[in-house]
Structure 1
Amino acid sequence: MVIESKINDEISKIILKNNKVSVEILNLGAIVEKINVEDRYGNKENIVLAYKDEESYIENPSSLGSIVGRVAGRIGKGSFKLNGINYELDKNNNGNCLHGGYKGFSKKIWDYSYSEDEEKSTAIFTSFSKDGEGGFPGNLKVQVTYSLEGDKLSIEYRASSDKDTVVNLTNHSYFNLSGNNKRNVLEQKLYIDSDKICELDKDLIPTGEFLSVEKTPFDFRKLKKIGEDINKNHLQLEIGSGYDHPWVLNKKGDFDAILVDEESGRIMKVKTDQKAVVCYSMNFPDELPLENGKVAKKHDGICFETQNLPVGYDDCFLDGIILKKDEEYYQKTTFEFEYM
């Protein structure tokens, strides 16, 4: 089932719904506002952080639920070189470019359409970034497709440009399986199929080096509480005031990441075709009220930003996100919801 409603003259909401899951999406930023799933007792609750009112998403300093890009993450010194040309970008984060700059896709009103059949409901969002916007080259067309089928929500990303450019899109939802943000995520258990992370500098920008997770707080190769090691004495944790790192995925198992809340019984399994997932433990919450009327607190949610490796400093991972003229960028991530 698909339900459409108007918030105001510009902002609309699309709800994808079946008897297991409902997903509420705004055309502002193609934002996932709510994902409602049952717990072990049959109570259906929202498992992503949501603002109290939709107007808060216009500012949205934490990028709640939004599609971020052109390039997710931080580009060191707000510049990169492609085909011998140096591109100066918006410097919207301490002299660096974060999530595409001041006019990234999280701030745009997207066009949309939707469809449904007996098995699946789908919403397709399209947007455009003109050549030079934010400093990036190429007229870039983007399409994001949300599909709900049974207990699985998939997000497919497509993009094309009339010039060689760079693209690295992701969704910035903050998950909290307790339901309606009843508890923070520190007691929830996390698994990540990864042997190494990207080292970050003091500005949270990849240096180009990798660090083994072995015998560190970043080892989630077995289910472990998010809060078990988050306050340990480790330079990388001190830099980010928690987790905010790209884990390089091994691609060995059926799923790339798993989140478990034992109290509610909810389980979320993540599968992606991307090389990495940035898990961000909401270390710097904003001051806008959430749907429960409370202001978000540190570690109230955790992001699973599936993507290719962030650009970092000195274009260290740039090659992985180059989109050639008239070629198609594509990626897919699926979230599967269960309960014990």
Structure 2
Amino acid sequence: MKATNQQMSNGWVETVLENDHGMCLTFLNFGGIVTELVVPDKRGVRENVVLSYADLSHYKENKPYFGALIGPVAGRIKDACFMKNGTRHTLSANDGHHHLHGGGNGLHQQLFSVTLFQHEDRVGAMLTAEEMEMDHYPGKLTTTITYIITNENEWIIDYHATVDEMMPVTLTNHTYFNLTGGVKRSVLNHVIQLESDSFLELDETLAPTGFIRSTAHTPFDFRSEKRIGERIHLTHHQLQVAKNGYDHYFLLDHTKEVKAVVYDEESGRKLEMKTTQPGVVLYTGNSLEDELLLKEGNKIEKHAGLCLETQGHPAALQHKGLSSIWLKPEDVYKHQTIYQFSVE
């Protein structure tokens, strides 16, 4: 097990966490951004399985939110506003008319202090930022988010947050996975199983309508294994509004311990996801088209990666039937997500 910090020329700090079995997580103190996650394939070949920029300077803007921590509120707040105690709070509109992923100075733009720790079977880092004033949110947010790598090839994310005034909080991580290793192929041939029988409907601007739809008899039913590309080009309206793909919040079945499984047949890599969060956004990189280069030298292309963004949903601010995302000063926000890698 090994944990190291390295000062970079631009003032950022790069941290590397490595277990005893060839799994290695690299991230920045800027935005908690994961820049590399190396795991072996079925032949023992160690390769990067997340989307990463070739040039680290591109993380400053990072429009796709590669690898970044997201908050205070992950997802879109419709019309960039919400009501609190009868008062309307207006946020910045950074996605059309909507407020996306905490606005221009969300967690993805924060510098965290990093504290390393090491135990016999795990190694980790605590990323802390205190009393952050963000956008036009009421109150200040303090977070400690812990990244852990275990000898069971788990990447564990522990989220801990407090506020000094009641405000909406739901945090996530926006890493794009591609289990082929080195982004050899798109994720369309990845097989996924997702324990969810309902999802949130989106309008034409990708904002939630508030309607919860059944996954049954739709291209959104992943309760049995399906290839991601198997139904992605169907003329289902919800696929079309998301630019021929998935960008939807799935409400998870918490009677099942493993909430999602993703598998790449050729490499043999399998990813299992567990979480305490009420749901997950499955995003299949529908808007990923850019001249910027990935670490492996490839151009960024549509469906190059997929995200499993575990979170509550900001639609709860405006619609009933969803888990509340309000956090009070006397309460503590605590959630955990585990991504575990193996081979078959």
Q: TM-score, normalised by structure 2?
A: 0.96
Counterpart residue number, 1:337: 341
Percent sequence identity is 36
Query: In 2, distance between residues paired with 1:195 and 1:328?
Result: 29
Q: Check conservation: 1:62, 1:286, Cα contact below 8 A.
A: no
Q: Check conservation: 2:316, 2:325, Cα contact below 8 A.
A: no
Query: In 2, distance between residues paired with 1:313 and 1:283?
Result: 26
Aligned residues: 339
Counterpart residue number, 1:15: 16
Counterpart residue number, 2:303: 299
- Aligned partner letter, 1:323: L
1:144 aligns with 2:145: yes
**Offset, 1:23:** 0.5
1:280 aligns with 2:280: no
SS at match of 2:105: coil
Query: In 1, distance between residues paired with 2:212 and 2:127?
Result: 35
Query: In 2, distance between residues paired with 1:184 and 1:119?
Result: 33
With over 3 angstroms needed to count, the CA separation of the structure-2 counterparts of 1:215 and 1:57, relative to structure 1, is: same
**Offset, 1:317:** 6.6
Counterpart residue number, 1:228: 230
With over 3 angstroms needed to count, the CA separation of the structure-2 counterparts of 1:318 and 1:247, relative to structure 1, is: closer
Structure 1's unaligned 5+ residue stretches are none
1:4 aligns with 2:5: yes
SS at match of 2:229: coil
SS at match of 2:27: strand
- Listed one character per residue, the Cα deviations across residues 236-292 of structure 1 (whole Å, up to 9, x for unaligned) are 000001100000001122200000001000000000001100000000015221101
Query: In 2, distance between residues paired with 1:332 and 1:292?
Result: 30
- Aligned partner letter, 2:326: I
Q: Check conservation: 1:75, 1:98, Cα contact below 8 A.
A: yes
- Listed one character per residue, the Cα deviations across residues 153-184 of structure 1 (whole Å, up to 9, x for unaligned) are 10011111110111010000000000010100
- Aligned partner letter, 2:20: N
Q: Check conservation: 1:156, 1:330, Cα contact below 8 A.
A: yes
Structure 2's unaligned 5+ residue stretches are none
Q: Check conservation: 1:311, 1:317, Cα contact below 8 A.
A: no
Q: Check conservation: 2:155, 2:340, Cα contact below 8 A.
A: yes
**Offset, 1:327:** 1.6
Mean Cα deviation higher: 188-197 or 112-121:
112-121
Query: In 1, distance between residues paired with 2:322 and 2:256?
Result: 27
Query: In 1, distance between residues paired with 2:196 and 2:204?
Result: 23
Counterpart residue number, 1:119: 121
Q: TM-score, normalised by structure 1?
A: 0.97
Query: In 2, distance between residues paired with 1:247 and 1:157?
Result: 20
Counterpart residue number, 2:77: 75
Query: In 1, distance between residues paired with 2:72 and 2:171?
Result: 6
Counterpart residue number, 2:264: 261
RMSD, aligned α-carbons = 1.4
Counterpart residue number, 1:200: 202
Counterpart residue number, 1:289: 293
SS at match of 2:249: strand
Counterpart residue number, 2:325: 321
1:103 aligns with 2:102: no
Q: Check conservation: 2:75, 2:313, Cα contact below 8 A.
A: no
**Offset, 1:295:** 1.5
Query: In 2, distance between residues paired with 1:28 and 1:234?
Result: 39
SS at match of 2:241: helix
- Listed one character per residue, the Cα deviations across residues 102-123 of structure 1 (whole Å, up to 9, x for unaligned) are 1111011111111112211010
Q: Check conservation: 1:80, 1:315, Cα contact below 8 A.
A: no
- Aligned partner letter, 1:219: D
**Offset, 1:314:** 3.3
